[in-house]
Structure 1
Amino acid sequence: MFSNLSRLRVTIFCVILYILVGTYFFECKARSVGDSSNSENLIKDDTEEYLKSYGEKMKSYMNLSVAPCDDFYEYACGNWKNVRPDRFQSNYKKNNLLDIDFTLRDEVEKLLTNTKLAQALNDSTELQVAQKFYNACLSAVVFPFPAADPAYLELIRSIGGFPAVDGAAWNASSFSWFNMSAHLTNLGVNGLINEDISPKYPFRPLLEMPVLGFDHIVQTDSIAKNTSRTYKMNEKRMQSYLQAYNLTTNMISEVIAGVFDFWREALEISNTFNGCTYKCKVISAKKVLPKYYQWKSYYEIAWNGLFFNRWDNTADYCDHYYEQLEKVCSKHPEAVANYLSMLLLYRMDAKLKEEKYHKDYCLSTVQSGFAYLFDKLYMTENFIDRTRTEVSDILQKLRNSRRNALEEVEWLDPWTRREALLKESTIKPVIGSYKNEEVTSGLIQEINKLQLEDRSFPQSMIQFQKLVTRLRRFNGLHHKELPKDTKPLKYLLGIQVKAFYSHRLNAIHVMAGTLHPPVYHPEWPSSLKFGTLGFLVGHELTHPFDTKGCQFDFEGHMRNWWSMRSRAAYQERAMCFVDHFNSYHIPEIDRNINGKSTQDENIADNGGLQGALDAYRNHMKQLKNRSEGENVTLESEQIPGLDLSPEQLFFLGFAQLWCSDYEKKQYWIMLNQKYTIEKYRVLGAVSNNPDFAQVYNCPAGSPMNPQADTCRIW
């Protein structure tokens, strides 16, 4: 037993030890708290600096001399074309949303040198191939395009010949316009065989009407005169290729005239079918026409014989059309061969306007051609759980908003409402991308088959285009090895600017590449996030209930789940959008928007914008209730430098997604698309939204608050 003195000594020692240890931990904790506070302050400062910078960028897009109630698009986007980055873009559409491609391109440039990441993912060999191709592209001559390079001419001669260049050496009797078209599909060229891929297993080819022309699609009326814009643009493109072969002016004119003569006769056939594959099928079915005899050649040349025995007379092919087209091609063999030869050159052409875009072109080409490799690297490096969680949360709030709308709308009868709510409840969300390791691995391994020629970039480019086509056809070529529930390849690609809804899967997809400004940034206030990302999600969540989506049930089957009364009420409301958008005049081309062809996208814009605003308001209500209960101050819902309320910022963020810059030809192209030209998307959405008028204090009768005949479904 211890003595009292010993016991006292032990007690004193323990107290001293306790004090020392306690002091040590207290000091450590104090330093830790101080460091954390400093870190938080630094993060806060960085966030404030970023938000200030982004506010300046948003403001730079605006034309503040225009009142928002007069023309909200011009107010939000009037200066965008003057400040947007000057970079290469192969897409004919130029808008702020699609400019995220530039951000992704910069990420690809970083990933090109990230050998450690590639090694960790066992993809270093494939990355080396991509690096080699990229470096070859940088050192090659791509502007002006070397159309007369021997590699291109040799390829053309091997698949059909170039009579404009070969002259008497070209043999018309051995020329097959169909086989040359089939060979061109292996290089991604849709000549007189226009190939798409079915999105459903077994992913066989779908063939549509050929689309004729180069920079501008030709129509009968658009090339009736040689002074038309369409005529001049296509003439100029063909001249550039033929001049590279040192042909005389008279010879060039003769070749071009022959191509236009062929186009005119070919268009006469297309016009009888109204350009619609479905009508071809109906005609074939009624007349019980035999299969067009050359299809077997196409399947042997393009698909190694796959799928040839899997279809009947009325599957996806217009046999009657091709019977008629063959007669025209037989009359113009030289013109057809010249046209197809120049189409191949057009495919290989970088189409640069200036040399300064050379690097951007190479990055863009590498990004698209090696997409699945860079997607794997990008998703590993960039797509974090925080982003996925927040996007999931916003998506769920938008779904709650959509569900409330379905429950509250008065014109739905109980039966149809029940079916609609069932469909909404079974929508499957995919955020980032869909995963299929087996297919992705196979796609990446295809890169190792790319044969690059050190001394000839055109030779490498030819092999590259063959690789791109093999990748596009991958699921179809390997369908026997894949399960029947395999998804289309586009679902696997996270590094793309895309959000979409699949009717067959009843699924909404928000791809990871979309989650950059002007769509999303984690430091933005919720007002901006809901106006941008929230709108895009709400847009896609409206598609299950647009005029096409209404034809599919909750399992993705085509089925009429609408009562006659509800369908009639829906169609009446949908027709309002047709009439409204028909009234928008495009002064640049003296045409009006086609309200019928753009109907579903306009309905989705209207529903998405309202749904996003409702979701934002509910979100803020929940935050306010929680903060009052916990006595916490809410974060600011504004952006520094923009004198806008949170809900005004919401609408500005939406509008600035669609800031755009059009050349005249792009108006003509967009006129035939399912999307409304961006300016009128904005004007149509906000002028049909009463909340917008209230938020921006627009007087009744002003352009953005017409009040009369406003359209709304949900």
Structure 2
Amino acid sequence: MHAWSGQGGDIMGPAVTRTGSAKANTPPLKNGSDLRETGYLIAVGSRTARFRRKHKNKMLLVTFLVFLLLLLCLAVVMTVLYVKQKRHKPVRICESKECLRSAANLALSIDKTADPCEDFYQYACGNWAEDHPRPDAYRSYDWFRDKQTKVYTILRDFLTKNTTDLPNPVQQAKDMYKACMDIDVLDKLGLKPVFEILKELGLPLYPTYLNVTQNNNYDDYNFDWIETVIKVKTYLGMDVLVGFDIFTDPKNSSIFRLVMGSPETTNPFPSMHNEKKRHNGHKSNSYYRIPINEEFDESFTVSYNHEKNRDENEDQKRAQAYKLFYAELMKLFVIETGNFTSSNINEIELDQKILATSNEYYNLYNELYELESDNETDTGDDDAYLNIPQYTADEIQELTDTVVSENNGTVIPVWKRYLEGVFNISDTELNFEDDKILVTEPDMKYLAGMATIISKTPPVLVELYVWIKVVEVMAAHTTTELRMIFQRSYDEIHSKKLSGSPPPRSLLCASAVNDMMGMAVSYAIADPNFFNVTKPKVQTMLYEMKNSLAHLVGKAKWMDDDTKLATYQKIIQMKTLIGFPDWFMEDGRLEEYYSGIEVTSDTHLKNMIQIIQFKIKKVLNKFRVGNNFTWATDPTEVNAYHTFQENTITVPMVMLQYPFFDLGLDSLNYGSLGTVLGHEITHGFDNFGRQFDKDGNFLPWWTNETVASFVNMTQCFVDQYSTFYVPELGEHVDGKKTLGENIADNGGVREAFAALRHHLHKHGPEPKLPGFEHMTSEQLFFLSYGNLWCGVSTKDSLKSDLEDEHSPQQFRAKGALQNNEEFARSFHCPPGSQMNPPTRCIIF
């Protein structure tokens, strides 16, 4: 059918004739486009339109897909090129001398045959002892002792070097060292310096009980022991029979209180065996174990065999060694006075008399020592510390008089007279109505027991006791002959086999000067750039550590909101003493600090006593002044401290040096010094530190619910550490005794690791350690922490370690890392391996 006229004629009807005004006939149109162009047709849904639209959409889709494909190919190519570039890009390696030194140290210490997931301590420290042989003078040797020995070596060289334009106290320290080193002068003086001091104290040149020129009838002999122990305290700073000190008030850290009890400072002089004394007095915790002062101290035990007969034999041998030592000591004094040559007895009779005298002393010593030992028993009751009774001097007198009378002793006034005598050398005047004295229940028991024993003991034997206690600590700092007697007796008493010699005299003298004038000798290590370089770095680390603990506290589900808020406040107010005091380099300040001290280069014993007296007066005069939160130690001590009653962390200068800091990489610094700082920060919230508030006052500030949850969680640590076994001794670690330190170790590692991650996220990835390119920063962090505890110990030392509040060093590394999930993840330790146990102990 055709719609238009064509060859076959009009199909639809006759043709229509238009008028003249009509348009001319349109030629035949061939397609829709032509129609649209002429306006006749409007495309609505023609087949052609639909076809072209469909075709056009397909083209767009194909074009889009091709574009996507090209983009995908480009991404693949770029990824391949990036990976290829990464593979061929040189690894950034730290080549500083600090990094090279750290790398060499770690490489020499590591035992690559050990599996870090089974025994990480062996892995990190297995070869340490081979590269660091233990000197004969030490029962144990580790990074802390190694560093302290090097510090003494630096001090020795500094004290012997000709220097000018230094503060006067530094020159006095040099003079003190010279006097200590002048053995010829010491031998020439003999016992004369001790004789002069005995006269000052009102004591005879040798015990009256040993009188070789008169009959032994001492019924009418009088000895004012109270007056003598007062003089010993004020002249030597030494406690004999009575212990007295001034401590921070537990409930108000801004003031000081008088404290009395059993003797604390039994040896005011530096140890001849280079051992640090325990810190007594106000509660403070140290990072590193402080070795027991072994200067002929009965508190040191060396018996390991549990067989009863063997123990008794060992005790008898030690007792005999003590008696012989005291006999030799007394005989030297008798001979030095020249009285023996004018007596009517021969040397055999003299020896017999001296041995009998030594035996009398030893019996009285044991009787008093039992009282002191009972007082040292740790009840574990922290509330007892909070509720220490306070008394007037008259009330103490009344309580002790009652016990003395009940035991048929002679009552005499003691305590008010003692306190008045001690404060007579100061500018402070006591008010016996208002100035109460803190005396714990065990201390009161000791004071009453001691007063009873002394009241029933012949005065001549009391004098003997005081004489020996005083002389034995002074005589070691006199002649070569006496030092040899001390050393031989020391070895016998403590079953030592130390090749017969203590550390070199030069190091002993450097240690002694450091002990007496620590701030002055710190000039040897003081760096003017410290305030601009090192201190800001450490402050940043401390800030990050505190932040880390705050975040961990925020995540703790066992703490309620009130306790968390109080914890945040304590963290914020925690003070830090870093390096050395801010005033240290200021002109005139060191002279002011040591104002009043006199030192000469030829009076060794007298020099030490003058410094002791200076310190005693300083302590007594500050009684009314109040607490100004001073340093817990000298800048030269290799340790760190948290002083609970001041909410303060002290980090001495030598802890900011190799091998604890300045190790080249942040991962190594945070794994070493960072964990030390974290340890001390965590102490503020461990089983004891948690009871001191933000101002350092011993007051409950945790809610009862939080305390209950905390105590429940600590049992995990007690159980875990109690499983650690020391095969050399056949004994386990005491998980309860070491609880506080274990909590601090674990918290310190977790805080330091979190701080490191934050630090690296902020500052970017660190370079690789040469030789350890395969290790990540996280692995180096844990390796640095493990290396911190490398050391070697004798059986004697291990025994001492088990009696300490710190766990033995290998378990300080093992325990903290067993409880750290990040460690197991970093070293890919399989579940159930030693270092990836199914149960972990976590508080912070």
Task: Report the TM-score, using the length of structure 1 for normalisation.
Answer: 0.78
| TM-aligned CA distance change 1:295 to 1:405, over 3 Å | same
Counterpart residue identity of residue 215, structure 1: F
Aligned to 1:187: 236
Counterpart residue identity of residue 444, structure 1: Y
SS at match of 2:577: strand
Determine if the alignment matches structure 1 residue 60 to structure 2 residue 191: no
Cα distance in 2 between the residues matched to 1:663 and 1:148: 36
Pairing partner for 1:105 from 143, 147, 152: 152
Kept in 1: contact 2:760–2:766 (CA 8 A): no
Aligned to 1:516: 657
**Matched ranges for 1:332-481 at <5 A:** 332-333=461-462, 336-337=465-466, 339-345=468-474, 348=477, 353-354=500-501, 357-376=504-523, 378-379=525-526, 381=528, 383-435=530-582, 440-447=590-597, 449-452=598-601, 454=602, 460-479=603-622
Cα distance in 1 between the residues matched to 2:750 and 2:472: 45
Determine if the alignment matches structure 1 residue 323 to structure 2 residue 323: no
Cα distance in 2 between the residues matched to 1:146 and 1:114: 26
Aligned to 1:69: 117
Determine if the alignment matches structure 1 residue 242 to structure 2 residue 367: no
SS at match of 1:707: coil
| TM-aligned CA distance change 1:193 to 1:485, over 3 Å | closer
Cα distance in 2 between the residues matched to 1:643 and 1:339: 63
Cα distance in 2 between the residues matched to 1:378 and 1:187: 30
Counterpart residue identity of residue 629, structure 2: K
Counterpart residue identity of residue 146, structure 2: D
Kept in 1: contact 2:801–2:807 (CA 8 A): yes
| TM-aligned CA distance change 1:100 to 1:147, over 3 Å | farther
Kept in 2: contact 1:498–1:511 (CA 8 A): yes
Kept in 2: contact 1:532–1:657 (CA 8 A): yes
CA RMSD of aligned residues (A): 4.1
Determine if the alignment matches structure 1 residue 217 to structure 2 residue 298: yes
Q: How big is the shift at 1:369?
A: 1.7
Pairing partner for 1:295 from 415, 418, 440: 415
Pairing partner for 2:707 from 567, 571, 576: 567
SS at match of 2:606: helix
Q: How big is the shift at 1:263?
A: 3.3
Cα distance in 2 between the residues matched to 1:55 and 1:117: 39
Aligned to 2:724: 584
Aligned to 2:491: none
Q: How big is the shift at 1:66?
A: 3.6
Aligned to 1:713: 843
Aligned to 1:546: 686
| TM-aligned CA distance change 1:612 to 1:218, over 3 Å | closer
Kept in 2: contact 1:214–1:343 (CA 8 A): no
Cα distance in 2 between the residues matched to 1:541 and 1:64: 34
Cα distance in 1 between the residues matched to 2:185 and 2:659: 32
| TM-aligned CA distance change 1:230 to 1:207, over 3 Å | farther
**Matched ranges for 1:646-665 at <5 A:** 646-665=777-796
Residues 658-696 of structure 1 deviation map (CA, whole Å, 9 limit, x = unaligned)? 233434444444444322222222222122222222223
| TM-aligned CA distance change 1:403 to 1:84, over 3 Å | same
Task: Report the TM-score, using the length of structure 2 for normalisation.
Answer: 0.67
Deviates more, 1:128-137 or 1:47-56: 47-56
Counterpart residue identity of residue 131, structure 1: K
Residues 594-634 of structure 1 deviation map (CA, whole Å, 9 limit, x = unaligned)? 2222211110100001111111122222233xxxxxxxxx5
Counterpart residue identity of residue 198, structure 1: F
Aligned to 2:176: 133
| TM-aligned CA distance change 1:139 to 1:272, over 3 Å | closer
Kept in 2: contact 1:96–1:659 (CA 8 A): yes
| TM-aligned CA distance change 1:407 to 1:264, over 3 Å | same
Aligned to 2:646: 505
Residues 104-133 of structure 1 deviation map (CA, whole Å, 9 limit, x = unaligned)? 3233235436665644xxx1x333332222
Residues 148-169 of structure 1 deviation map (CA, whole Å, 9 limit, x = unaligned)? 7343355346533433765466
Kept in 1: contact 2:579–2:652 (CA 8 A): yes
Counterpart residue identity of residue 324, structure 1: G
| TM-aligned CA distance change 1:205 to 1:469, over 3 Å | farther
Kept in 2: contact 1:207–1:316 (CA 8 A): yes
SS at match of 1:348: coil
Counterpart residue identity of residue 260, structure 1: Y
For structure 1, the 5+ residue unaligned runs are 1-43, 455-459, 625-633
Counterpart residue identity of residue 567, structure 2: A
Determine if the alignment matches structure 1 residue 262 to structure 2 residue 385: no
Cα distance in 2 between the residues matched to 1:147 and 1:113: 23
| TM-aligned CA distance change 1:146 to 1:201, over 3 Å | farther
Kept in 2: contact 1:105–1:363 (CA 8 A): yes
Kept in 1: contact 2:661–2:673 (CA 8 A): yes
Q: How big is the shift at 1:510?
A: 2.2
Kept in 2: contact 1:605–1:685 (CA 8 A): yes
Q: Which of the pair has more CA radius of gyration? A: 2
Between the two proteins, the alignment pairs up a number of residues equal to 645
Counterpart residue identity of residue 718, structure 2: V
Kept in 1: contact 2:327–2:358 (CA 8 A): no
Pairing partner for 1:682 from 813, 818, 821: 813
Determine if the alignment matches structure 1 residue 198 to structure 2 residue 247: yes
Cα distance in 1 between the residues matched to 2:359 and 2:679: 46
Kept in 2: contact 1:59–1:642 (CA 8 A): no
Q: How big is the shift at 1:392?
A: 1.1
Q: Percent identity?
A: 23
Cα distance in 2 between the residues matched to 1:104 and 1:662: 21
Deviates more, 1:392-401 or 1:500-509: 500-509
Kept in 2: contact 1:281–1:314 (CA 8 A): no
Kept in 2: contact 1:218–1:230 (CA 8 A): no
Aligned to 1:612: 752
Q: How big is the shift at 1:286?
A: 11
Aligned to 1:597: 737
| TM-aligned CA distance change 1:413 to 1:326, over 3 Å | closer
**Matched ranges for 1:121-200 at <5 A:** 123=167, 125-140=168-183, 149-156=191-198, 159=201, 160-161=203-204, 162-163=206-207, 166-167=211-212, 173-185=221-233, 186-199=235-248
Residues 313-356 of structure 1 deviation map (CA, whole Å, 9 limit, x = unaligned)? 75237455233213334435365246414532466377665276
Deviates more, 1:377-386 or 1:418-427: 377-386
Aligned to 1:15: none
| TM-aligned CA distance change 1:469 to 1:430, over 3 Å | same
Counterpart residue identity of residue 450, structure 1: V
Cα distance in 2 between the residues matched to 1:671 and 1:346: 32
